[in-house]
Homo-oligomer: A and B are copies of this chain.
Amino acid sequence: MSAMIKVGVVGASGYTGLELIKIILKHPIFELSLVATSEGGGRVDTLHPSLASICNMSVIDANVEQIARGCELVFLALPHTASMGYVKDLVALGVKVVDLSADYRLDLKTYESYYVPHTDRENLKIAAYGLPELNQEQICESSLVANPGCYPTASLLAILPFMKYLQKDSPIIIDAKTGVSGSGKKLTNESHFVHINENVFAYKPFEHRHAPEIAQMLLVDESRVKFVPHLLPLTRGMLCSIYVSVDGDFDPVEVLREFYAKSPFVRIYEQPVSAKQSAGTNFCDIYATRSANTLFIASSIDNLLRGASSQAVVNANLMMGLDEDVGIPDIAYVP
């Protein structure tokens, strides 16, 4: 195996870090050469006990030089605003980066209005938005890819095929439903079992930071995107139910099939899709139907995989000249 490519994971303690490690360990070309957290210390299988007897690598603290020595490409699974601190130096040292945070997803003005002042404006300009179905060519040539959020991934893949049919200036309503792993390991009232079991509720309606990311990639004004996320008693899984006003005579399933004819990781269904059927995979499953001028689109993804880690590895594949599907999980956990 002379052709193995050394890759690292920085920010390995969270769910997306774990998913990255799981995929890389089974990847036929990538070799996991470095695992880091902000504090360092311990081993991978103490950080994630389910990896006992699978991976006992040491966990180091994240140091740019060490990363550059050990990796051709690195995945940053860090909190928003923490990524910026690494990317600048890593790119300067010639390391390719897939950044799972929001730091390189938005244009400068939007980013700064939702987050903090940006400290790496140069790289912000050159980062590719890592939605392979939208942006494959740019990703292939880029050394810095901003991996999309889970909500934008499921929303964009559902809406993009229908943009030309949308009524001018009409609202784009996204009723998103997601499991608890999307909020990470942090202990909050909302993630307490007793609070979310036998429950469902909207949170931050119309206020969520992902709406501007969706608007930007749809090339529409942010005010058109009406985004309402809901928390459900699921561990994994995301279903976006989208409602838009359309004109024209078209069969929505046919539109989807044509649009994604060459996309290996989008599946089109003639029946409503379920969150469970895509959990464990990189697939985005989509269904659409219409009632007069109202179009309903439902898209399902695994929020931790297609919404984060497996999409990140697809991007890494493309950046390293591999086929996009090398080592990517495609068989659902069902049942």
Contacts and interface: CB of A to CB of B under 8 A. Distances in A.
A279 B193 contact: no
Interface residues of A, number: 82
A243 B245 CA distance: 13
Contacts of A177: 177, 200, 230
Contacts of A267: 52-53
Contact of A331 (B26, B274, B290): B26
Contact of A243 (B191, B200, B243): B243
A280 interface: yes
A280 to B, nearest CB: 7
Which of A54, A201, A280 has most B Cβ within 10 Å?
A201
B193 A272 contact: no
B202 A193 contact: no
Contact of A200 (B196, B239, B335): B239
Interface stretch (A5-13, A61-69, A179-187): A179-187
A168 interface: no
Query: Oligomeric state, in number of copies?
Result: 4
B50 A233 contact: no
A173 to B, nearest CB: 5
Interface of A: 15, 18, 22, 25-26, 48-54, 171, 173, 175, 177, 179-181, 185, 187-189, 191-203, 205-206, 223, 226, 228, 230, 232-237, 239, 241, 243, 245, 264, 267, 269, 272-280, 283, 287, 289-294, 296, 298, 300, 304, 330-335
22 contacts: A18-B334, A49-B277, A50-B276, A54-B331, A171-B243, A173-B243, A179-B198, A180-B193, A180-B194, A181-B194, A195-B335, A198-B235, A198-B236, A199-B275, A199-B276, A200-B234, A201-B275, A201-B298, A202-B239, A202-B241, A206-B290, A226-B294
